Amino acid sequence: MDSTTFHRVAAADDLSDGDVIEVKVGDDVITVFRIGDEFHATAGICTHAYARLVEGYVEGDIVECPYHGGSFDIRTGKAVASPCTVDLKRYPLRVEAGEILVGIEA
């Protein structure tokens, strides 16, 4: 049984290409990225240490952590540059009627 609940986090129009926002749903800190017309949601905190990825640098589909320069593939959450070795959690995301919805498992 699917126990994922979708929560509205922003309007799609609030983000332009390359924009990043941080949202909180319950206890989860989540980063939402816009790449072109795609939206992606990942964990908001770097897996290396405590850095907020919303303060990182986005280049194409890569986000570089602001602390030690590790980076992740935004589309997959995969850690792609050291010192990051643990992938970012990804959250299901959908856009409905212009609203960005992020799925949280109950």
Q: Which is nearer to ligand FES, 45 or 101 (CB)?
A: 45
Q: How far is CA 21 from CA 1, 13, 39, 102, in A?
A: 30, 12, 11, 13
User: In sequence order, what are the residues at sequence separation of 6 or more whose Cβ sits closer than 8 angstroms to the Cβ of residue 52?
Assistant: 22, 29, 31, 44, 45, 46, 66
Side chain identity at 7, as an amino acid letter?
A: H
Q: In angstroms, give the least distance from the CB of 71 to ligand FES.
A: 8
Write out the two tokens for 94: 């959908």
Q: Which is nearer to ligand FES, 7 or 78 (CB)?
A: 78
Q: In angstroms, give the least distance from the CB of 4 to ligand FES.
A: 27
Q: Which is nearer to ligand FES, 23 or 46 (CB)?
A: 46
**Which residues in this chain contact ligand FES in the complex, by CB under 6 A?**
46, 48-49, 51, 65, 67-68, 70, 83-84
Q: In angstroms, give the least distance from the CB of 76 to ligand FES.
A: 17
